[in-house]
Amino acid sequence: MELQRDKFDTATVSPKKDYLKFSLRNVTPGTKHNTEVKLTGLKAGSYDVVVNGEVVDRINTFKNETTFAVKVGKKETYEVELIKKTSYPNKAPEVKVEKVSEVTLPESFQLVGKVTDDGLPNNSLEATWKLDKGPVGATVEFSDKNELVTNVDVSKPGKYVFKLTVSDGDYSGSAAVLVNVLPVPPVPEVVAKYEFNANDGETVTDSSENGMDAVAQGGVDWQRGLFDNSIKLNGTNGFVKLPEGIVRGVEDITVATWIKASDTMQNQSIFDFGNDPDNNMFLSVRAGGNSLSYTINSDGDEQRINASAHIAVGQWKHVAVTLSGNTGILYVDGKEVGRNEKMTFNPADLGKTLSNYIGSSKYGDKFKGELDNFVICSRALNTEEIKELSALPLDALVSIDQVDITTSIEEAPKLPEAVTGRFGDGYEIKLPVTWDEVRPEQYAGEGSFVVEGTVEGTEIKSKANVTVVLDIKPFPELVSRLTFDNLNGTTIPDLSGKNHNGTIVGNLTPEMNGYKGGSLNFAGNGGNYVDMGKSEELIPSNITVSYWIKRTEQFTGENMLMWFKPEGNWAGNGLFITYNGDSSTVIVDGTSSFFVRENPNQFLPLNEWTHVIVTFNSDTNEAAIYKNGVKQALGFGGTPDKITANTQAKKVGVSGYGNGAQLHASLDDFRIYSGAMTEKQVRALYEAKDIVNVSPVKVTTKAGTAPELPLKVSVTYENGGEGTAFVKWDEMEPTKYAQPGEFTVKGRVDGTRLEVTATVTVE
């Protein structure tokens, strides 16, 4: 015998094990409680439980272990007996079912049964639920029809009668319950609307009055936004958790919101509704190019709408996705930017979604920035309605800041896409602007002019003050140039004059069909590369790397273009350029990177020569990647801020890990410059219009009259063509042309490091 609590000193047991007597000592006098008594070995049968001479219970025992309870009050001792009695007749189980309040589809509900039984004949019961009556054609699913407590799903509204039957083997008892199931309520047109107008706290109020209040969690802040207040998420652990089942039963849908991204160096989730990564719908800003993407997954199958629209950092942008039937559309600032007419999945397919977020996702992607006026509608808004939603609230705008732009002669000014507007309370906002046409004659010579711009939604004009100057930018200094022509055994001559020759290591194949002249084919296994030596000059802090590349087969793994970092240390100082995964990536000091998020097999067409230029300026932290003279949209990992020179081995065509990641492509005209090229210089290099010769100038003037030196000089390009380039002449002392004679003037020519000489004859 064991007592759950309290104590006993001695007990009397009959030899036949069918009688028990003991004195129970109350260890907590004055406190009412129950003491459970556990017996092992009591003979099977029926027993009266007698406490202080009074029968208080009767128990049946059928197996080796038996338990019963003794009610203990204020007394210090209780005399307890078990006295065997003649077995009483088996009775049917007494069955009860708890009432169920009204249920609304598509919610499931719970049936709860309770049974009282005498344990006869063998202390075993079998329970069974069944539908007794229900609507015609209705289907019923029990989570377990043989458990007293079971969950139920039904297919139709109406009145249902469920019956629970419990049998002890000889007799049965039953009870029934009526459940009134109401139809699915109509989904409101506005499912939820979050205006984020709180000043503090965690509650995000649903202003649609549908009771879909949400909860702000983690790193969030409330501040002045586009419409009253907005919510700011920190990009690490801040997000908004929405109620479960927020899009349940929604087939056609619109989800729209205003966002102001703080940065887009990684994938960022605007919203994610679903249960797991295989069953969800989400809208995100992709790191590569900051473009928009909507995805819906159903049991692991994916359907997507991609947009090429750029999501600017630090500027309010209105984004929206609509689904109507099989057509899905993405909008940015009220304009369609992406469409997919084969969207067969819709939110209703996801069922009751349990994990619904604004600013977070099932994949860990967080949004960093502000959100305002987030709305979910149960229909696809049309273009005009989306445009109305995306209208900026500019009634309180009081001014637009002027901008100052400097451009070179004959170079169209680069006017900003957005200007700064100011409200009466001092709030600043970046506004998209449409500028008036700028005519070429306005920037044909030095001077200044004004361009007006229009901001939709206000009559306040934007102004750009443009200054035109003669801006001479020489090409960066050429550090090394390998054209792969005229190979001397395994030596590749450096045409820069810096003597940074390359050396072929392993098995690389010279070819005659390069982009121009010969080329070098990298298509072996690990260990085949070009060794460029260890000079620090090959890794300047401000750099341009230019090369022509022809992909000769499908890239299936990493293909390393160049490795200028320590061996076996990809996170060391220096840089490398690689084609890997879904991007073309440049990694500078440490693990900081910039990249084009495009699969290399698309970025580099098969068996076509492609010109690629990479530039980085450690002084300004500006990075760029160009393809065939066109600047590409970049994504960033970390914050690239410098390139540190090193004296490590510098290799082209393999990585620094066992000479692996072999490049499978042909290369031609590989160049390194000490300096970051401008876009204009990149275009010139791509078009082979890098200047190789400048024609001298001859000018005649009268004594005492300053000679008129030309604004442009004749040049010859590497491709053999001829053209002109701007020149900036040194200042001339008036004494030089005060009397007849001859003198020379030096000038710097735009787009080259060559000087030009003007011979001036004074008559």
Do the strands 291-298 and 301-310 form a parallel or antiparallel pair, or are they unpaired?
Answer: antiparallel
pTM above threshold 0.85 = no
- Asked if the model's pLDDT at residue 372 lies above 80, the reply is yes
Q: How far apart are CA 142 and CA 134, in angstroms?
A: 15
Q: Are 559 and 662 in contact (CB under 8 A)?
A: yes
DSSP class of 536:
G
Average pLDDT of 566-593?
A: 92
Give dist(CA 267, CA 636) in Å, integer. Answer: 10
CA distance 96 to 113: 6
Give me the pLDDT at residue 370, please.
96
Where does residue 35 fall: left (phi above 0), alpha (psi -120 to 50 degrees), or beta otherwise? Answer: beta
Question: How confident is the model over 569-597, as a mean pLDDT?
Answer: 91
Q: Quote the tokens at residue 753.
A: 């490091």
Mean residue pLDDT across the chain: 93
Q: How far is CA 268 from the centre of its chain?
A: 3
Which pLDDT belongs to residue 265?
A: 58
Tell me: pLDDT of 309 over 80.
no
Query: What is the pLDDT, as a whole number, of residue 16?
Result: 94
Express each pLDDT in 209-219 by its tens digit: 899 999 999 99
Residues β-bridged to residue 261: 313, 369
**pLDDT value of residue 58:** 85
Strand, helix or coil at 713? strand
Residue with tokens 């090394």: 480
pLDDT band for 60, please (50, 70, 90 cuts).
Answer: confident
pLDDT surpassing 90 at residue 579: yes
Q: Residue 304 pLDDT > 60, yes or no? A: yes
Average pLDDT of the residues in 595-613:
93
Residue 475 and residue 717: Cα distance in Å, rounded? 13
Residue 597 near residue 625 (C-beta atoms within 8 A): no
Which backbone phi and psi does 607 adopt, to 5 degrees?
Answer: 60, 30
pLDDT at 708 exceeding the cut of 80: yes
**Beta carbons of 534 and 650 less than 8 angstroms apart:** yes
Closest CA to 269 of 150, 174, 137, 358: 358
Per-residue pLDDT tens over the stretch 609-623: 999 999 999 999 999
Q: Grade residue 287 by pLDDT with cuts at 50, 70 and 90.
A: low
Given a contact cutoff of 8 angstroms between Cβ atoms, the answer to whether 655 and 529 are in contact is: no
Please state the φ and ψ torsions of residue 412, each to the nearest 5 degrees: -55, 135
Question: Higher model confidence: residue 89 or residue 146?
Answer: 146
pLDDT score at 291 = 78
Tell me how far apart the alpha carbons of residues 615 and 586 are, in angstroms, rounded to a whole number: 10
Is 290 in contact with 270 (CB distance < 8 Å)? no
Residue 658 has pLDDT above 60, yes or no: yes
Q: pLDDT-based confidence at 354, cuts 50/70/90?
A: very high
- Is the confidence at residue 435, as pLDDT, over 60? yes
Q: Which two tokens stand for residue 189?
A: 């047109």
Given pLDDT bands bounded at 50, 70 and 90, which one contains residue 597? confident
Neighbours of 317 (CB within 10 A): 21
Q: How far apart are the first and last CA of the chain?
A: 134
Average pLDDT over residues 145-164: 96
* Contact (Cβ atoms closer than 8 angstroms) between residue 547 and residue 667: yes
Q: What is the largest CA-CA distance in the chain?
A: 148
Residues in CB range of 211: below 8 A, 6 or more apart: none
Mean pLDDT to the nearest integer, 318-346: 96
Q: Are the beta carbons of 320 and 359 closer than 8 angstroms?
A: no
Contact partners, residue 748, CB within 8 Å, separation at least 6 = 472, 474, 727, 728, 755, 756
Q: How do residues 506-547 score in pLDDT, each as one tens digit?
A: 989 899 889 999 999 998 776 899 999 999 999 999 999 999
Of 369, 384, 399, nearest to 462 by C-alpha is 399
Percentage with pLDDT > 90 across the chain? 82
Q: What residues are paired with 218 via a beta bridge?
A: none
Q: What are the φ/ψ torsions at residue 196 (nearest 5 degrees)?
A: 55, 45
The pLDDT tens digits for 711-735 are: 999 999 999 999 999 999 999 999 9
pLDDT band at 608 (very low <50, low <70, confident <90, very high): very high
pLDDT for residue 548 is more than 90: yes
Place of tokens 């007749």: 89
pLDDT band at 442 (very low <50, low <70, confident <90, very high): very high
Banded pLDDT at 488 (limits 50, 70, 90): confident
pLDDT for 264 equals 64
Instruction: Read off φ and ψ for residue 578, nearest 5 degrees.
Output: -140, 155
Over range 560-566, report the average pLDDT: 96
Q: What is the CB-side half-sphere exposure of residue 461 using CA atoms within 13 A?
A: 9
- The CA distance from 531 to 482, in Å, is 12
Dihedrals phi, psi of 247, to nearest 5 degrees: -115, 20
Judging by DSSP bridges, how do beta strands 172-182 and 103-104 pair with one another?
A: parallel
